[in-house]
Structure 1
Amino acid sequence: MKKSKVFVTGATGYVGHQLAKKLADEDYEVVALVRDIDSEKIPRHNNILPVKGDVCDFHSIESAIDGCTYAFHTAAYTNLKCNNVDSFYNTNVRGTENVLKAAQQTNVKKVIYSSTLSVFGPSYKDIPITESQPRLESYANDYELTKSMAEELVLDYERKGLPSVILNLSRVYGPGLKTYSNGVNKLVNMIRKNDFLIVPSKLDIVANYVYIDDVVNAHLLALDKGKSGEKYIIGGENASYNQLFKKIKSLTESKIKILKVNYNMVKGALMLFYKLNGVFEFDASVTPKVLDSLFTNRGASCNKAISQLEYRITPFDLGLERTINFLSK
């Protein structure tokens, strides 16, 4: 017997793809909103119905979500290389409001909104980020700003009677689609395949890393146990870049040589390259904003999710081992 009918955005993205498949495997009927109905990134399953639409188009959402009991909103614009704030605002803010409005009008019982740990800003010294931490610095980029604005919308609609839960994801890694947002997988491949790697010198920077299966499971736990109006940090273990490189090198048995270059020199060179990019149209894969985002302390605690959602963490070494095995195929 089929479970509830659920609506999912972002099913062609890293997290949304895995989430849609998990829901389908659990016998939910999944309505997946996709812009390109012929995309190879659409998860294929008998319980998944792809529906053409766009979070920026309210009417396409309203039609697709009708009859669904729950909604998972994972779609977002994440490309930090983009300088056009409208690209972030239209998808992350207006798109979120469209989903919330349609969910409210069609009597959806609960919305699970996938957000990011970065809305809290940096972690302070050695103190992990928690859900109660106030933001201590201005927004570093349009992604952080618009995701924070979207969270305010979620909470506003929750106060108006739409049950909603916010999940703040840390750096996600593990098997899945190759997308812009899974940088840890890219790093694993670089260490596996290259003889040397040039990196900025700030390798003591600490971030929180979460395995993709844990993220997916957290969404289902939030559906069942998440308290409306609450935010939950969904993370894993905290590690510095030094620790991360060491773990990956050990697990892959890599002999790679890692060359550290002064951070300010790297950033200065990127700023110069970025200016030239505007003239000569190079493909700058890393911009100063991307660099700063990658080298910001974001240690975090997910104790609230553990205690209230019964969330469980995959050990970092085990998650990395599974990731390496996946990437080695």
Structure 2
Amino acid sequence: MAKKKILITGATGFIGERLTQRLLQEGNEVRALCRSPKKARTLLPQETCIIEGDLDKAEALEKAMEGCEEVYHLAAYAKVWDKDPQAFYRVNVEGAERVARAALTCGVRRVVFTSTAGVLGPSPDGKAVDESQTPVVLSTEYERTKAEAERVMQRYVEQGLDVVIVNPTRVFGPGQLNESNAVTKLIALYRKGKFRFYPGSGHQSGNYVYVEDVVRGHLLAMEKGRKGERYILGGHNVSYRELFDKVAEVLGKRYAMIPLPLPLMMTVARFEQWKADTWGRPPLITPPFVRKYHYDWRVSIEKAQKELGYEITPLETAIAETLRWLEAAV
């Protein structure tokens, strides 16, 4: 396989770090655009070409893309809250536009843009949604700005840029225990007996996907995806109860879980929001996130399976590998 020059934005993130490792293992020359080269050097393999820069600098993006065949745009602002709501727009929308413009200018062969399955909205009547669903109302600033970023990318597709969009669901597995890896953080807490609550009844469904499957999905999207299309990179549709029942089964240790009424969660969330707005302290949870627990979030991965050859790891295997990593790392 011929060696390719590839740029990754968001290489120091949960998915980006694993994707960088995989691309290097395949013998590619990988460039990582990073705000903090010092942080990048502690996270990324030594052979990564680290380029200092940010999404707000068009010149830095063009310089980083010079000579690159492929670009993976994973960098995003995915926090629960920010005292400046425009931060989401600046990074997720304006950043995506600069990446697309630079890719068009530099003659990049293809861009894979990482969005989120959250832009598809909840599943009506518990039925799995597919890539065609486009809800009118979205819950959070992150989802709203990622949906707008997808529209930006589609405008550049109309100008001739080859873009494929991927929409990961709730990603978990070995890697940084940050906001993008929240499910693994909960598994780590459960392992120690410190996470003992279900949101609501615990019967609301979500889709949980192993990080290595998402990495492979990115590679398949670059190789086989159709220009201008989106592909859900999902895993297993299960409820909170089913997920943690499986964690308990694999762990060989079961803790009693307590349903936490959603009205109580909303009261806490509103208080957290008030504290954040008053004193600028990041909230533990916000009202938009509590509202999400009223719905099922089931997805179909049929399109990715048929068109990309996308496959998923059995849930039990993914949880077992995650627990083994936690045992060694935490």
Equivalent in the alignment of 1:208:
207
Unaligned 5+ segments in structure 2 are: none
- In the alignment, the residues of structure 2 paired with residue 292 and residue 90 of structure 1 have an alpha-carbon distance, to the nearest angstrom, of 25
| Aligned equivalent of 2:288 | 289
The C-alpha deviation readout for 1:234-266, integer Å capped at 9, x for no partner, is: 111100011011111111122322111211122
Percent identity over paired residues: 34
Q: Supply the distance in 2 between the matched residues of 1:13 and 1:308 (Cα, whole angstroms).
A: 27
Aligned to 1:170: 169
Task: Using the TM superposition, name which of 173-182 and 248-257 deviates more.
Answer: 248-257
Asked whether 1:250 is paired with 2:245, we answer no
> Post-superposition shift, 1:199?
3.4
Name the counterpart of 1:74: 74
Give distance in 2, aligned partners of 1:295 and 1:13: 29
TM-score (norm 2): 0.94
Distance 1:168 1:317, change over 3 A: same
Q: Structure 1 pair 202/58, CA: closer, same or farther in 2 (3 Å)?
A: farther
Task: Give 1:236's aligned amino acid.
Answer: G
**Alpha-carbon separation, structure 2, partners of 1:309 and 1:219:** 10
1:252-291 pair list within 5 angstroms:
252-279=251-278, 284-291=283-290
Q: 1:81 to 1:41 in 2, by over 3 A?
A: farther
Question: CA–CA distance in 2 between the matches of 1:254 and 1:302?
Answer: 31
Alignment of 1:100-119 (within 5 A): 100-119=100-119
The alpha carbon displacement at 1:294 in A equals 5.4
> Measured at CA, do residues 89 and 279 of structure 1 come closer, stay the same or move farther in structure 2, by a change above 3 Å?
closer
Q: 1:26 aligns to what?
A: 26
Q: For 1:93 and 1:196, how far apart are their aligned partners in 2?
A: 35
Structure 1 Cα separation of the partners of residues 236 and 71 of structure 2: 28
Deviation at 1:181, TM superposition (A): 1.4
Q: Name the counterpart of 2:309.
A: 310
Per-residue CA deviation, residues 195-247 of structure 1 (Å, 9 max, x unaligned), is 66233323111111111111111111111111111111111110001101111
- After superposition, the Cα gap between the structure-2 partners of 1:41 and 1:306, relative to the gap in structure 1 and judged at 3 Å, is farther
TM-score (norm 1): 0.95
> 176-185 vs 162-171, which deviates more?
176-185
Structure 2 residue matching 1:38: 3-state secondary structure: helix
Contact 1:175-1:327 within 8 A present in 2 as well: yes
Structure-2 residue corresponding to 1:147:
146
Deviations, residues 125-167 of structure 1 (Å, cap 9, x unaligned): 12101011232x5121111111011001111111111111000
Q: Residues of 2 paired with 1:78 and 1:45: CA distance?
A: 24
CA separation of 1:133 and 1:274: change in aligned 2, threshold 3 A: closer
- Given the alignment of the two structures, is residue 190 of structure 1 paired with residue 173 of structure 2, yes or no? no
Per the TM alignment, residue 110 of structure 1 is displaced from its structure 2 partner at its CA by 0.3
Letter in 1 for 2:34: V
Match of 1:300 in 2: 299
Q: Which amino acid aligns with 1:74?
A: L
Instruction: Give 1:284's aligned amino acid.
Output: P
Q: In angstroms, what is the RMSD of aligned CA positions?
A: 1.8
Question: SS of the counterpart of 1:39?
Answer: helix
CA contact (8 A) 1:208 1:300 kept: yes
Query: Counterparts of 2:268 and 2:46 in 1: how far apart (Å)?
Result: 50
Q: Figure out how many residues of one structure are paired with residues of the other and give that number.
A: 328
1:5 aligns with 2:8: no
CA contact (8 A) 2:275 2:283 kept: no
Distance 1:104 1:128 in 2: 35
CA distance in structure 1 between the aligned counterparts of 2:82 and 2:113, rounded to whole angstroms: 23
With 91-100 and 189-198 compared, the bigger mean Cα shift is at 189-198
Residues 196 and 89 of structure 1, relative CA distance in 2, 3 Å threshold: closer
Residues 81 and 289 of structure 1 are in contact (CA less than 8 Å); yes or no, is this contact kept in structure 2? no
Unaligned runs of 5+ in 1: none
> 1:261, 1:45 → 2: CA distance?
42
Following the alignment from structure 2 to structure 1, what is the Cα–Cα distance between the partners of residues 18 and 92? 20
CA drift of 1:282 comes to 5.4
- CA deviation vs aligned residue, 1:90-149 (integer Å, no higher than 9, x gap): 1000101111000000000000001100101111112101011232x5121111111011
- SS where residue 8 of structure 1 aligns? strand
**Which letter does structure 1 place at the counterpart of 2:322?**
T
Match of 2:123 in 1: 123
Query: What is the SS of the residue equivalent to 2:82?
Result: coil
Q: Is the 8 A contact 2:12 2:44 kept in 1?
A: no
Partner AA of 2:53 in structure 1: G
